[in-house]
Amino acid sequence: MGMKFIKRLPSKEEVLAEQPLSLISKKKRDTRVREIKDVLEGKDDRFLLIIGPCSADSEASVCEYVERLALVQEKVKDKLILIPRIYTNKPRTTGAGYKGMAHQPDPNKEPDIRQGIRAIRQIHLRVLMDYGLPGADEMLYPDNYSYLADVFAYNAVGARSVENQQHRLTSSGVDVPIGMKNPTSGDFSVMLNAINAAQQGHRFIYRGYEVESDGNPHAHAILRGAVDSHGRNLPNYHYEDLIHFIHMYEKSGFQNPAIVIDTNHANSMKKHDEQPRIAKEIMFTRKYDPNIRKMVKGLMIESYLVGGTQKIGENVYGKSITDPCLGWEESEELMYYIADNV
């Protein structure tokens, strides 16, 4: 066998016993989950913002970011629901590079997945307990969901995972809203198939057990742009794109049809400072077309304390070591603009 077994990873029960969730924090998390579900069901007209670093690379700087975010949340609480991006697993197109806190709790040190599992629960616990804002994470590894299931409020399946059977089946058993991104090809039918699978109940293998899921009625679409066969980025947030997709979505007959739009990645053509312009166009489009307003429930924005990106080892506090992010000042201004134009 061509792999070396290094160490046994802790079980879900071991990790939760070592790092328990308080009853007060559980109530805050459950309340937030219910609020997000109400938005997706059309019972709450507030707008969702999943906002924060491309990857959660440092507990200290991420928590400082969320502390600032909590202050903004209090000011815009009647208009926006802010969900901090606490992305602890980082997909890599070629497999090379920093794979997230779950792999490397310290980006400057060697991978240590055993400690990484504890680190990702610790950071999610801290943002919930200290600032009252349960976070969002990406389901890169479906097995990791069980370590975080009681602490976060939103989950997403990425463009490279959305066609994977295990991601789709696990999503059907997740009790928080889960966004399914369109694949990098941009094929809407792939994303709709993923939503369909996630909304149904299934029996499948999970963490060594035969399990049965109930289906997740809050699985929904995330538009993140596409990349064509020549490597060119193709945005899919424009008015015409949204009208076309909404027609497809409505024909599918899914529960709680909803769209979240990612303002970075292929939609921004990897130009992070274009995110405010993109967000403003989307807010205008929502005002222009009632059907788009009804369906587009939120945005994803990549944002950190310091704008741009850096290489590992430069050690600029609060600056992304993966995709470039919008800086705090621009992010704060944008959040207030969105709140004023919901």
Assign residue 55 the CATH number of its domain.
3.20.20.70
- Residue 51 CB: number of other CB atoms within 10 A? 28
Which pLDDT value is given to residue 1?
Answer: 64
CA-CA-CA-CA torsion sign (236, 238, 244, 248) = positive
Percentage of the chain exceeding pLDDT 90: 93
Which pLDDT value is given to residue 91?
Answer: 81
User: Has residue 4 been placed in a domain?
Assistant: no
Backbone phi, psi, residue 330, to 5°: -65, -35
Mean pLDDT of the 27-37 span: 98
Rounded CA-CA distance 296/288 in Å is 12
Mean pLDDT of the 328-335 span: 98
Mean pLDDT of the 50-78 span: 98
Task: From 165, 178, 171, select the one nearest 200 (Cα to Cα).
Answer: 171
Which pLDDT value is given to residue 264?
Answer: 96
pLDDT interval class at 210 (50, 70, 90): very high
Mean pLDDT of the 153-182 span: 97
Percentage of the chain exceeding pLDDT 70: 100
SS3 112: coil
User: Has residue 73 been placed in a domain?
Assistant: yes
Full domain range(s) for residue 68: 12-340
Structure tokens given for 41: 């069901």
Mean pLDDT of the 47-60 span: 97
pLDDT interval class at 118 (50, 70, 90): very high
Structure tokens given for 206: 């999970």
User: Has residue 1 been placed in a domain?
Assistant: no
Whether the pLDDT of residue 114 is over 70: the answer is: yes
User: Has residue 102 been placed in a domain?
Assistant: yes
User: Has residue 2 been placed in a domain?
Assistant: no
pLDDT interval class at 97 (50, 70, 90): confident
User: Has residue 7 been placed in a domain?
Assistant: no
Whether the pLDDT of residue 96 is over 80: the answer is: no
Whether the pLDDT of residue 187 is over 70: the answer is: yes
Whether the pLDDT of residue 92 is over 90: the answer is: no
- Which residues are bridge partners to 178 per DSSP? 155, 219
Which pLDDT value is given to residue 211?
Answer: 97
User: Has residue 130 been placed in a domain?
Assistant: yes
H-state helical runs in 200-268: 239-252
Whether the pTM exceeds 0.85: the reply is yes
Query: Residue 274: what residue type?
Result: E
Whether the pLDDT of residue 271 is over 90: the answer is: yes
Q: How many domains does the chain have?
A: 1
Mean pLDDT of the 303-325 span: 96
Which pLDDT value is given to residue 317?
Answer: 97
User: Has residue 137 been placed in a domain?
Assistant: yes
Q: What is the mean pLDDT of the chain?
A: 96
Rounded CA-CA distance 56/321 in Å is 9
Q: What is the dihedral of CA 30, 32, 38, 43, to 10 degrees?
A: 120
